[in-house]
Chain A
Amino acid sequence: MKKLLVVLLSVLCVLTLAGCGSKGGNEGGGETGDGTVTVKLGGSGPLSGDAKVYGEAVRNAAQIAVDEINASDSKIKFEFRMEDDEADGEKAVSAYSTLFDWGMQVSMFTVTSGSGAAVASYYDEDKIFAITPSGSSTALVYTDAKNYPGNFQMCFTDPNQGVASADYMATNFADKVVAVIYKSDDVYSAGVFEKFKAEAAAKGVNVVYEGAFTDDSSTDFSTQLTAAKDAGADLVFLPIYYQPASTILKQANDMGYAPVFFGVDGMDGILTLEGFDTSLAEGVYLLTPFAADATDEATVHFVKAYQDKYGETPNQFAADAYDVVYAIKQALENIGYKEGYATNGLCEALTAEFTSMSFDGVTGLNMTWAENGEVSKAPKAVVITNGVYVSAN
C-alpha cells in the first residue's frame, strides 16, 4: 500500500512541478495599438491573518487608483495584482516569486516591514523598481552595508516616526508626564521606540515609565497600565499596531485610567477593527500624513471613491497606496514610457526620476525622495473625534 501511495504522490508532485515549469520570464507590457501601454504592477501584503486590515486597505486603494487611471485617457494603463504574504518573510519570498513569474514590471513592494526586509534584496538583484506604501522599516530601502537604489518608501521610516512623535509631544504636550508601552519583539515597534527615547531625552520630554510586552503577552496589559498610572503618567505613547492597542484602550477604560493616548501609523486601522467599541478610541492622537477630513480636492475625491466602493473611511495605509500608484504613473509619464521601452533600463530610469521629481498626493504636497529611498513630507497629528480622524490643530 505504501509503495503505491508513494509512486502515486511522486508522480503527482513531478506533474505539478513540470506543469509550472514552463511558465515564467518577463514578457513585457501589452500593447493595444492606440498608443497606450499596459504596465504590470505587483505587490504583496497580508490578506489573511492578524495584519490583514493593512493588506486589504492597500489593495482596495490601489485598485481604486488603477481603475481611475485605466478609465481615464492616460496613455499608461495598469494591470494590478496583489499576492498574500501573511506578513511573513518566508511567504513574502514566495509571493514575490509568483509575481516575478507573472511578469511584474513595477512593484508596490510589501505592505509590512518584516516581509519587505526579506524581499528587499530580491528587488535589488532583479532590478524591479519598488515603492512601498507602508513598510516603514529602513531595512526595506537600505541596510548598514548597502543601499538598494531601486527601493523607495511612500510612508515615513520608523526612526522618523519616533523622532516626529517626540518633537510633537515636546511642542504640544510639554507639561504632560509620559509613559510608553511598546512591543519589544516587533521590529516596527522597537524601531520607533528606540528613536523616540533618544529624541525625547534630547527634547526634555518627561518619560517616567517604559513598559515592554511581547507577542506572547499581548493579551493582558494590566501590569503595564497600573505601573503607568502609579508613575503618574497622563500621556501614554503606544508605538504599536492597533490590535494590542485596542486591548490597552479597553483595559485602561475598565480600570478607570484615562490618560491621553498617542499612537503612530500602526494605530491607524483601529476604527475598522471588528468587534471593537470605537467609542473607546475617542480622543486618541495619532501621527499620520493623512487625515480623511481634509478639505483639499484630492483627499475629498479619494475618500468619497473609497467610501462608495468599500463602505468605510480609508486609513493612512490606503491613502499611501493610492499615492503610490499615482506616483508611479507620474514617474512613468515623465520618463516617456511607451511601447517597446527597454525593460532592463526601467528600474534605473524610474530611480533617477523618483529622486528628482516632486509629487503631490493625498498624503502630502511636494513630496520628494532622497537617494536612500526615504520620503520627505510633513507629518500631521490627528485626533479621533466622533469615530473619525480630525486634524489635531
Chain B
Amino acid sequence: MKNIFNNLFSKKNRSRTISFLMVIVAYILIEVIMNTVGMSRLFKSLLVPVCCYIILGLSLNLVVGISGELSLGHAGFMAIGAFTAVCVSGFCAQSIPNDILRLALSVLCGSIVSGIFGFIISVPVLKLSGDYLAIVTLAFGQIIKSLINNVYLGFDSRGMQFSFVTNELKLEGGKMLLSGPMGATDTAKISNFTSGFVLILFTLYVIYSLINSKYGRAIMAARDNRIAAESIGVDISKTKTLAFVISSVLAGMAGALYALNYSTLQPAKFDFNTSILILVYVVFGGLGNINGTIIATTVLYILPELLRSLQDYRMLMYAIVLIVVMQITNSATLKQTLEKTTKRFFKKGEAQ
C-alpha cells in the first residue's frame, strides 16, 4: 500500500497523480453540490465549456509547451471537430436515438477528421519553425474558418447535398446541416458535464502517456536542442508531427463536445481571438505545465462571469486581474517565499 503511494507520488509520477486527483475530486465535488445544495444555472452552464477549454488548453500545451512550437491556429482544429460533430449528430439523429452513443460517435468522428487535417497541415508546416510556423498556423486557422463559412450541406430523402459559396440546395423536406455563415442551427444539445469529465481524463491519459514514453522524451529533446537530438538519431520531423497530430485530434474532440453543447454554432466563433484565448490559458498556466493549464483555464473562464456585478467595468477588471496575476506569478521574491514554505512543508511530511 505504502509502495503504491510512494510510487504514485514519486518525483516522476507526482504531477500525473495530482492532475488526475484534482480532476476527479473536482468532478465529485461538483456532482455532490449539484445533487444536494443545487447549483446556480450560471455555473451549470459553464461546466461543459470549461471542460472543452481545458482539453483545448491541454492539447495546445502539447504543441506550444512540450513540443516548443508556437501555434496560432488552434481554433481551426476546434472548428473542424465542432462542425464534423454537428453534421454527424444531425445526420444520425433518427438512426441513433441514444444521446450518449450519438455523442460518442460524433466526438470520435470530430477528432478523427481533425486529426487527418492536422496530419495534412503538419507536412508543410513542420518544416518551418519559430515565427514562420506561427504565421502559417495562423493562416491555416483563417482558411478553415473561411472554408466552413462557404459550405452548404444538407440531406433529404435523395441523400447528402453539398454546395459551395452560394446556396443552391433545394431540399425536399430534409434538414440543413451547415448553411454557410449561419453555421449549424437546431443542434440537439447532447453534451453533458460527465462526458466532458471523461474526455478530460482521456486527454490527461494520452498526454501523460506520451510525455513518459520514448516519443515524448524525443519530442522534448528536439525542443531543447534540435541539433543534439538529431545527432543521437531522433527523427525531428516525425516526433514533431506526432505531437502536432495528437494535439489536433484532442482539439477536434474538444470542439465536438463544445459544438454539441449549443443549439446554434457559427463559423465566425472560431476566429483568431479564440486561438489567442486558448494560448492565453496555456501561457497563464505555464508552458508545459499540465496542472497549471487546467487551473488557469478554469479560473480565467469563470472570472469574467464572477465579475458581472461590476457591469461596465467588467472587462477592464478582467484585464487588470490578468496583468496582476501574471506579474505576481513571475515575481522572484514571491516564488522564493513560496518555495521555502513548500520545502518546510515537505520536510515535515517526510520526518513524520
Indicate whether B41 reaches chain A with its CB closer than 8 angstroms. yes
A93 contacts which chain B residues (CB < 8 A)? Answer: 45, 262
Considering the complex, which residues of chain B in the window 172-213 have a beta carbon less than 8 Å from any beta carbon of chain A?
175-176, 180-183, 185-186, 189
Indicate whether B295 reaches chain A with its CB closer than 8 angstroms. yes
Indicate whether B248 reaches chain A with its CB closer than 8 angstroms. no
- Chain B interface category by residue count: 35 or more
Contact between B45 and A94 (Cβ–Cβ < 8 Å)?
yes
Between A and B, 8 residue pairs with Cβ closer than 8 Å are: A5-B338, A21-B43, A88-B269, A89-B269, A143-B185, A187-B182, A190-B182, A194-B167
Contact between A144 and B42 (Cβ–Cβ < 8 Å)?
no
How far is A194 from B335 in the complex, measured between Cα atoms in Å? 59
* Nearest opposing residue in chain B for A5, CB measure: B338
Contact between A20 and B264 (Cβ–Cβ < 8 Å)?
no
Contact between B262 and A118 (Cβ–Cβ < 8 Å)?
yes
Identify the stretch in A97-105, A292-300, A312-320 within 8 Å (CB) of chain B at 4 or more residues.
A97-105
A47 contacts which chain B residues (CB < 8 A)? Answer: 311-312
A100 interface neighbour in B30, B41, B146, B292, Cβ under 8 Å: B41
Known: A9-B299, A89-B269, A97-B42. A117 touches B25 (CB 8 A): no
Indicate whether A16 reaches chain B with its CB closer than 8 angstroms. yes
Contact between A2 and B291 (Cβ–Cβ < 8 Å)?
yes
Indicate whether B127 reaches chain A with its CB closer than 8 angstroms. no
Contact between B268 and A18 (Cβ–Cβ < 8 Å)?
no
Question: Which 3 pairs of residues, A with B, have the shortest CB-CB distance?
Answer: A97-B45, A97-B42, A97-B41
Indicate whether B305 reaches chain A with its CB closer than 8 angstroms. yes
Contact between A24 and B342 (Cβ–Cβ < 8 Å)?
no
Considering the complex, which residues of chain B in the window 214-250 have a beta carbon less than 8 Å from any beta carbon of chain A?
none
How far is A138 from B292 in the complex, measured between Cα atoms in Å? 43
How far is A117 from B39 in the complex, measured between Cα atoms in Å? 25
B186 contacts which chain A residues (CB < 8 A)? Answer: 143-145
Indicate whether B142 reaches chain A with its CB closer than 8 angstroms. yes
Contact between B33 and A6 (Cβ–Cβ < 8 Å)?
no
- Interface of chain B: mostly helix, strand, loop or mixed: helix
Indicate whether B306 reaches chain A with its CB closer than 8 angstroms. yes
Identify the interface centre among A83, A118, A194: most chain B CB within 10 Å of its CB.
A118
A1 interface neighbour in B40, B146, B175, B338, Cβ under 8 Å: B338
A residues at B contact (CB < 8 Å): 1-6, 9-10, 12-14, 16-18, 20-24, 47-48, 83-84, 88-90, 93-94, 96-98, 100-101, 114, 117-118, 120-121, 139, 143-145, 184-187, 190-191, 194, 214-216
* Nearest opposing residue in chain B for A217, CB measure: B146
How far is A94 from B305 in the complex, measured between Cα atoms in Å? 7
Known: A47-B312, A215-B271. A21 touches B37 (CB 8 A): yes
Contact between B41 and A1 (Cβ–Cβ < 8 Å)?
no
Indicate whether B26 reaches chain A with its CB closer than 8 angstroms. yes
Indicate whether B130 reaches chain A with its CB closer than 8 angstroms. no
Indicate whether B315 reaches chain A with its CB closer than 8 angstroms. yes
How far is A232 from B341 in the complex, measured between Cα atoms in Å? 76
Known: A3-B18, A13-B299, A83-B308. A186 touches B268 (CB 8 A): yes
Considering the complex, which residues of chain B in the window 307-341 have a beta carbon less than 8 Å from any beta carbon of chain A?
308, 311-312, 314-315, 335, 338-339, 341
How far is A23 from B40 in the complex, measured between Cα atoms in Å? 6
B146 interface neighbour in A6, A114, A214, Cβ under 8 Å: A214
Contact between B342 and A187 (Cβ–Cβ < 8 Å)?
no
How far is A309 from B266 in the complex, measured between Cα atoms in Å? 37
Known: A10-B22, A13-B298, A93-B45. A21 touches B39 (CB 8 A): yes
B189 contacts which chain A residues (CB < 8 A)? Answer: 121
A215 contacts which chain B residues (CB < 8 A)? Answer: 268, 271
Closest approach, in angstroms, between the C-beta of B253 and any C-beta of chain A? 18
Contact between A84 and B308 (Cβ–Cβ < 8 Å)?
yes
Contact between A13 and B26 (Cβ–Cβ < 8 Å)?
yes
B305 contacts which chain A residues (CB < 8 A)? Answer: 94, 98
How far is A22 from B40 in the complex, measured between Cα atoms in Å? 7
Contact between A101 and B263 (Cβ–Cβ < 8 Å)?
no
* Nearest opposing residue in chain B for A117, CB measure: B264
0 or 1 for each of B254-279: is its CB under 8 Å from A? (1 = yes): 00000000111111110100000000
B14 contacts which chain A residues (CB < 8 A)? Answer: 3
Contact between A24 and B38 (Cβ–Cβ < 8 Å)?
yes
